[in-house]
Structure 1
């Protein structure tokens, strides 16, 4: 027998972090781009941005930092706070 289900962290009765949102954060961290992370997950940029905005609205601190322009263009990186959230989520999910 196998127990199957989804693990979510909620805050203020709203979904804060789940497997897909954690994956999105990890892919942003890997690619340095919301757009590239969204493409890897086969979702639109708009859908990815809405998830990030939803998480940021519930988070105690921002989860991402935008990097503006420059020679190689801009990008996005995770804040230290976002990086702190990922390992405990994986532990609790296990």
Structure 2
């Protein structure tokens, strides 16, 4: 899913966002996907700028350090992407059967 401003969300970005939600950390999510922190940040930053609302929020410092959390909009975008993706595969399966491909 993309806009004129750039890529909003893709399967890889969904995976990254889910790992952020799970770990509470962009750094940990990046490591789990074997991405550099810089690459992961760039992916999320482009998505944040391209979407209608931010997908993540960062929290700075404190005794336990900062963190990264998904926004409610980020969670809803993941849900929408997964539903659309599932429906696309069902449609394609049905079409392939029609043409015996």
Instruction: Identify whether the pair has TM-score above 0.5, normalized to the shorter chain.
Output: yes
Could you tell me which residue of structure 2 aligns to residue 87 of structure 1? Answer: 79
Whether 2:13 is the aligned partner of 1:21: answer: yes
The alignment yields a C-alpha RMSD, in angstroms, of 1.2
Could you tell me which residue of structure 1 aligns to residue 97 of structure 2? Answer: none
Measure how far apart 1:84 and its partner are. 0.8
Q: Which runs of 4+ in 1 moved over 6 A?
A: none
Could you tell me which residue of structure 2 aligns to residue 74 of structure 1? Answer: 66
TM-score, normalization by structure 1: 0.85
Total equivalences in the alignment: 86
Structure 2: runs of 5 or more not aligned: 87-101
More strand by proportion, 1 or 2? 1
Whether 2:44 is the aligned partner of 1:52: answer: yes
TM-score, normalization by structure 2: 0.80
Structure 1: runs of 5 or more not aligned: 1-8
More helix by proportion, 1 or 2? 2
Candidates 14, 32, 53, aligned match of 1:40: 32
Larger Rg: 2
Measure how far apart 1:15 and its partner are. 2.4
